Homo-oligomer: A and B are copies of this chain.
Amino acid sequence: MQDMLKNAARLLDRRLREQIPLTGHIGLEITAWDGRGLIMAAPLLPNLNDKGTGFAGSIATLATLAGWALITLWVEERRGPADVAIYRSEIDYRRPVTGDFFARCQLPEEGALKALLASLDSKGRGRLKLAVTVCQEGTEAVFFRGSYAVRLHPGK
């Protein structure tokens, strides 16, 4: 099971690199996925800003993609290929990021997941909200909430 999860995360990392050029420049990578929670990491150096700390654009991108990856992995394992797109988000930059950083997110409560699956099964599309925290070495620096739309590939 653990190997299957690792393999799915590795394939998604490759999809990101191949299909979204900016992800290669940010240097992001899924470093953990256990079926319920995901960690996506990035080095500080290519993501510096004018103040020598983590660039807000890189941090927002990492948080957005961590949520996107979590939903993609969870949905595709259950219902096959899907398009996931963010349609709304809010972000609070509480502390500057001064070292390599990572985004951490967890699946929401069971009710929201059941509602998403029911909507996918009846209409082929659904929505899910997620919270993502961006940290460096155990310090929580940035708080993100994203709303995502999911659509199963037609003819699956």
Q: Which A residues are closer than 8 A to B by beta carbons?
A: 15-16, 19-23, 25-26, 46-51, 55-58, 60-61, 64-65, 83, 85-94, 96
Contacts and interface: CB of A to CB of B under 8 A. Distances in A.
Contacts of A55: 20, 22
Nearest to A53: B85
A57 B48 contact: no
B93 A88 contact: yes
Contacts of A22: 22, 25-26, 46-47, 55, 57-58
**For the complex formed by this chain, how many copies does it contain in all?**
2
Most buried by B among A57, A60, A91: A57
Nearest to A28: B57
Given A86-B93, A88-B91, 20 more contacts: A15-B50, A16-B50, A19-B50, A20-B48, A21-B25, A22-B22, A22-B26, A22-B47, A22-B57, A50-B83, A51-B83, A56-B64, A56-B86, A57-B60, A57-B65, A60-B61, A85-B93, A85-B96, A87-B94, A89-B91
Contact of A87 (B64, B85, B92): B92
B20 A49 contact: yes
A55 B58 CA distance: 13
A5 to B, nearest CB: 21
